[in-house]
Structure formats: C-alpha cells, structure tokens
Amino acid sequence: MRPVDRKSIHGLYAALLVLGLTLLPADEAAAACRGAWAEGVQYAAGDTVTYNGTVYTALVAHGCNGCGWNPVAAPSLWSQGGTCSGGSATPTPRPTAAPGSTPTPRPGGGSCFPAWVSGATYVGGNQVSRNGQNYRAAYWTQSDPVFNNGPVGSGAPWNPLGSCSGGGSSTPTPRPNSPTPTPAPTATPGPGGSGLGAVLSQAQFNQMFPSRNAFYTYQGLLTAAARYPSFAGTGDTAARRREAAAAMANFGHETGGLVHITEIAQGEYCSGTATPCGVCASGKRYFGRGPIQLSWNFNYCTAGQALGLNLWADPDLVARDAAVAWSTALWYWQTQNGPGSQPAHSCMANNAGFGCTIRAINGSLECNGGNPAQVQSRINSYTSFKSILGAGASVGPDGC
C-alpha cells in the first residue's frame, strides 16, 4: 500500500495564509489605498478601497477576474473600515479586455467571433463563437473536461456575450489587442528538443513508470511543464536531468509509481480557517490528488488561483484532467516551500540536494529521522532515474 504522505502545512502555515503573508509577492508587501474597488485587481492584505461610498480593508491577499469578490459579496476577504481617498465612491469595473476586443462586424454583416476550436488553448480575454453565441474566456482553458463540448450556456470558464450571426472561421483568429490563443504543447521526442522533452523522452518516462495509470500521460506532463519553463530547464544539461529525475522520483513515490490518482486514506483536510476562496466549499473534500497528492483547502485555493482554475470549488478536477493534475504538481514543486525552507525546484537549482526536495514535500514526517525507510525509497528512485536520464552524480546531500 502506498504511504499516506500529506502536504500539511500545519496550523502556523494556515494562520499565515489567513493573514495573506504567504500569498504576497515582495512588491505587494506594503498595503495602500487603492481607490475604488475594481474587478480583477490584485489586492494585498491591508489594502483599502472604496465601494458604494464605504471604505473597506482587505483581510488577505487576493485577486480574481470574474469572481465578483467585491467587499459586500466576499465578507471573508474584506472588513468595513479604514482610510482611503483618491478614488470614486462607486466602483469602476476593470475592463476584461483591451480596447478593440469588442465584436467587430464580419464581412457580410455578421458579428460572430471566430469559431471555438476543440483542443485549442485559450487565455482570459479570448473571444469565440459557438452555435450562434459569442463567449469570452474568463481564464486559461484547454478542453476543460467540465465543458468538453466547448462554451455552452453560461458559467466559467466561458462568459456569454450574447447571440451573433454570420458564423465564424474554423480556426481561432486573435482579436486586436487581445491575448492570442496558442496551440497545446506537443511532445518533444527526447533529448535534443526543447523544454522538459529535451531531458525526458516518452520512452524514458515509460521506463521509469512501467505500470503507471493511463491517467498520467506524458503529453499531460509536457502541457503542464510548458507553464514552468524553468522546471528541468535551469543550469547545464546534467543539472536539468537531475531535476527531472528528482521530480519524477518524488511524484512516483507519492503515487506508488504513478498508479494512484487519489489518496488511499481520504480525509477532509479542511483547515477550518478562511482562505481567499472561503473556508471549505460545501460537500468538497481536499484529500490528496495528482502526482504531488495536493492536499488541504488552502493549497487547492492557492494552486487554483495560480493556474486560473477554481480548484477550491472543484477539487476533483485534479483527478479528472491529466494536464491539471500535472500542473498542480509542478506548481507545488516550483513555488511552494511546504515544511522546508525553499521550493523543490530551488533545492535542485541551488544545488541544495535531493534531500531538500523531500523536506519541501513532507518535512518532519520523513526528515530528521521521521521515516528513514520512506526517505531511502525516494533516494532509490532518484538514483535509478538519474541513471535512466544519464544525469551523473548527485550534487548536495540525497538524505534529509
């Protein structure tokens, strides 16, 4: 049976999250009067705004375009009071797309946007048509399994813009001054390519995980890795291969060789403390899912915000979409210290050693003598995978 390795960040981390400390980039650390509240703006904890003639103070760092987190609708994010001037008393909505992205009549009098294309990647602000209706993407989306028939009716990730006529082209054509839909990354056939595919081929991936669940696709991994070009892309070739081996060793350990999609012992993992998304969505459980076994309500909230997905409200999306599952794993690997002092990516890029990555994932549950057998199991996989990739000797300690 696979060990239950939980990504718990304990009470102190949850408390810091409530204060917004773990969500604040360095350049947003200072609170400020931000004028009238506006949709889609990133607010830091302590920022003040005006809304309908009343001043409010942000309780946590947050920001989401299309979520409607105004001070009245989201009391868990705002408290009434504070000092703020310089903005109008009535909130001015932030434009969701740059000027020029409104529908322009097509030749012949039509007004439909280019037709939605299955499998194409869209980002927030892209506009498409489908079945006589125009839509705007609220966030990054590519064949979201919840909306696998494309934009229909209403609801994220596609916001309806009304009916249209005149059809639409068969391929997405970018509107002026709007984000450009990009095709999904394609697999690179092994060393010699670019990105992760340059250091980890499909054949090597299959060799590492001969009994893997079909859910964990190589293409899904490459799609997720395209979000994080520094993943296995930092340093010389040997360093890049070591990071790929380290990540796959940890992901394999968490999932029993990429076999398990969800945690075996499925707890609630609701901290009971407010996150920028709320406390815990009704009826939702935040047990481990995906290659890193993402756990806890605050991790689902923060990962979802980073990826442009509402994982807090729909944690099962991590278990339904391979690209999303891999994306949560790489989000954690690249950005989260967890119980350690730096993210796993930094551990490898800074030559702090494989043991540092174990600490970032499971901390004292395994390190400092917590479970030496599990630590050794990870090291064994790392050693094997380095050999498969030709990564050479370790740099830094393997143990933690």
Residues 40 and 123 in one domain: no
Q: Assign 145 a pLDDT band (cuts: 50, 70, 90).
A: very low
Final residue in a domain of this structure, among 123, 146, 177: 177
How confident is the model over 301-321, as a mean pLDDT? 94
Residues 343 and 216 in one domain: yes
202 Cβ contact list (under 8 Å, min separation 6) = 187, 189, 190, 218
Residues 168 and 115 in one domain: yes
Say if 359 falls within a structural domain.
Answer: yes
Residues 220 and 141 in one domain: no
Residues 216 and 349 in one domain: yes
Domain boundaries, position 241:
195-389
Q: Assign 22 a pLDDT band (cuts: 50, 70, 90).
A: very low
Residues 65 and 129 in one domain: no
Residues 152 and 250 in one domain: no
Residues 124 and 252 in one domain: no
Range from 193-197, 199-203, 261-265, 267-271 carrying the lowest mean pLDDT: 193-197
Residues 304 and 374 in one domain: yes
Catalytic residue among 28, 39, 243, 254: 254
Q: Assign 361 a pLDDT band (cuts: 50, 70, 90).
A: very high
How confident is the model over 297-313, as a mean pLDDT? 93
Residues 141 and 205 in one domain: no
Looking at residue 321, its pLDDT comes to 92
Q: Assign 149 a pLDDT band (cuts: 50, 70, 90).
A: low
Selected residue with higher pLDDT from 219 and 5: 219
Distances (CA, A) of 307 to 20, 160, 244, 267: 18, 22, 21, 24
Question: Which CATH number characterizes residue 329's domain?
Answer: 1.10.530.10
- Transcribe 106-124 into DSSP letters: PTTS--PPSBP-TT-BB-T
339-354 pLDDT tens trace? 888 999 999 999 999 9
Residues 256 and 296 in one domain: yes
pTM: 0.56
Question: Which CATH number characterizes residue 128's domain?
Answer: 2.10.10
Question: Which CATH number characterizes residue 51's domain?
Answer: 2.10.10.20
Residues 376 and 247 in one domain: yes
Q: Are 9 and 302 in contact (CB under 8 A)?
A: no
Active site (annotated) includes residue 39: no
